[in-house]
Chain A
Amino acid sequence: MDFYLSALIQGLCFSALALGIYISIKIFNIPDITTDGSYTLGGVVTGVLLTHHQSPYIILPAVIIAGGIAGALTGLIHTKLKINALLAGILVTYSLYSVNLTIMGRSNLPLISVPSLFSLLNLVADPNQNTFWILSVFVIIITFLIGYLLKTDFGIAMRATGNSESMIRALGVNTDRMKITGLALANALTALSGYLIVQFQGFADISMGIGIVIVGLGSVIVAESLINWFRITSVWVILALVLGGAVIFQFVLAFTLALGVDANLLKMVTAAFVLLIVSLPRLSSLKAS
C-alpha cells in the first residue's frame, strides 16, 4: 500500500486517542495512562463482536461504553479513594489485561474476510482510499461532537475543572463527578482508536496497546507546540491541531522506518522524538541564555 496513505490512515485512527489524551492531560490536568488498557479493550470488543457478526450499530456503542467504564473506574479510584492518578491508571490497565484476555479467549484474533466499518460503504474503488474517506468522515464527526461539547456550558465547566478547582466548586460543580465523566470520555475516545485500528489492520491482539499512551502523548505534544507557537485559543483550531499532531506523529514514524531504521528500534526512536519535542523550548532557551 502507498506508504504515506498508510501513515495518514494510522494517524487518523489514532486521532481519537489523541483527543482522549488531550482531554485528560490538557483539559483535566490528570496524567491518565488507562490508555494502554482501554485502547486494547476497544480493539478486543470490536474484534470479538465482529467475529460474532454483530451489527455495527451495536459494536460502536459497545466500544464507547467499554472504554467509558474503564476511564470511569480510574476516575473513581482517583477521586473517591484519593489515589494518585498515575497509579489508578496503572491498576486499571493492569487488570484490563486479564479482562481483555478473557473477552478474547486467546491472545490474537484475526479478522480475515470479516466485514468491517471500512467495507460498509464503497465510496471509491481502491479499498485503502475507501478506508481513508470513511475514516475521515468518522473523525470529522467525532471532532465536531467534542468541539461542540467543549463549547457548551458543561464543556466550559469541564475546562474550568482542570484549571481552577476552587473556582468551579464555588460555582456549583461537583468536581469529582466531573473528573470521572472526563476520564470516561477520554477513554471512550481511546477505545474508539482501538476500534478503528483493529478494523484497519484486520486483527486484534492482546499486546496491541503496550506503550500506545506515548502515541497519544506525542500527538498532543506536537499539537501543543503549535498551539503555543501560534497562541491559539480557538477550540476548533486546537482540536484540528490535535488531529494534525496525530497525523504528523505517524508520518515521522513512517519516515523513520523509510530511512532504514531497524523496526526493533522504533519504540526507542519514538520516545526520542517525544523527548525532543518536549525539550525543544528548553533547549532553545538554553541556547539563548
Chain B
Amino acid sequence: MIAINDVHKGFNKGKANQVNAVNGITLSIPESEFLVIVGSNGSGKTTLLNLVAGSVFPDAGSISIDNNDVSKLADYKRSQWIARVFQNPMSGTASDLNILDNFRLASIRTKTKGLSIGINDKFKQQVREKIETLGMGLENKIEQPMGTLSGGQRQALTLLMSVMDSCKVLLLDEPTAALDPRSAEVVMRTADKLITDFKLTAILITHNLKDAYNYGTRIIQMSEGLVLRDLNNKQKSDLKQNDLFDWFS
C-alpha cells in the first residue's frame, strides 16, 4: 500500500543547525498492516509521517501510495487516500465550527467542496448514529462548536471523521499524548476498532510502550533517522513488554 524507497529528508541545509531527520529509509507497508513506530525524541518519526502525508517532500528517494508515485504530490491531494490524526487535538478539527460542519467536511474529504448545501436531516442522523458508537453522549451536541469539547472527545471525533469518506491509510502521530489516561484508552480502542473494521493501512507513532505492545501488526524502532529494529506480526507477538522497555535503556 505504501512504499518508501531510500527516502532522505534534512532541514536547514548548509546551515550550522543542519539536521538529517530521515536518513535513507526504505519501508514497504502492505495493505491493512497496522505499523507501530517507536523511537526517542528527534529520531525522525514525525518527519517520516509528514513525508508520507505530503506535508514535507523528500530531498531524495521516492514514496508511492497504492502504486502511485506521490513523491511530489501536495498533502491536500494525498487526502484521497490518507486521513490523519495529529498529536494536537486542535490540529485535526476546526474549533469554531460545530461538530456537524467538521463531519461534513470529513465526509467529502476526497471530493470537491462545492456550492451546494450538504448538511440535511439525513446527514445529521447519519452523524448522530456514528457518534453514538463512541458512547460519549456527544450525539446530542452535534450543533456545538468543536472548541467546547475536551481533547479526548476531539481526538475520538477526528478518528470517526477519518472514515466518513473512503479511506485507505490512517496516520496517527501520538494521538493520545495530550490526553488523560482514560480518554487515551478510549481513543486507542476506537482507533484499533476502525483500523480492523475498515481494513485500514495504519501507521501509529507512540511513546506509550504499553500501546506499542498491545496494538499493531508490526513494530519498528527508529533512531537518528533510520530504522533500527523491524518486527513483523509473529515477532511482535513473541515480544514481551519488558523487551520493549529494554530497547530504550
Contact = CB atoms under 8 A, between A and B. Distances in A.
A160 interface: yes
Interface in B78-135: 79-80, 82-84, 86, 90-98, 101-102, 104-106, 108-111, 113-119
A284 interface: no
A62 interface: no
A164 B101 CA distance: 13
Given A164-B93, A170-B84, A157 B105 contact: yes
Contact of A153 (B74, B84, B114): B114
A156 B113 contact: yes
Contacts of A156: 97, 101, 104-105, 113
Interface in A108-136: none
A149 B118 CA distance: 12
Contact of B109 (A151, A171, A174): A171
Instruction: Give the one of A149, A152, A153, A160 with max B CB within 10 A.
Output: A153
The SS class assigned to the B binding surface is loop
B75 interface: yes
B10 interface: no
Contact of B113 (A148, A157, A170, A233): A157
Contacts of B79: 169-172
A153 B117 CA distance: 6
B113 A173 contact: yes
Interface in A152-207: 152-154, 156-157, 159-160, 163-164, 166-175
Contacts of B119: 151
Nearest to A160: B94
Interface residues of B, number: 39
B198 interface: no
B99 to A, nearest CB: 12
Nearest to B95: A163
A172 B117 contact: no
B53 interface: yes
A232 B104 CA distance: 21
Instruction: Give the one of B86, B90, B97, B116 with max A CB within 10 A.
Output: B97
Given A159-B94, A164-B91, A171 B115 contact: no
A152 B119 CA distance: 8
A152 B116 contact: yes
Contact of B97 (A149, A152, A153, A163): A163
Interface string B170-203: 0000000000000000000000000000000000
13 contacts: A151-B117, A153-B115, A154-B114, A156-B101, A159-B96, A160-B101, A160-B102, A163-B96, A164-B92, A168-B94, A168-B105, A170-B76, A173-B76
Please list the 9 inter-chain residue pairs (A to B) with the smallest Cβ-Cβ separation, ordered nearest first.
A172-B79, A163-B94, A157-B113, A160-B94, A166-B91, A153-B113, A164-B94, A170-B84, A171-B109
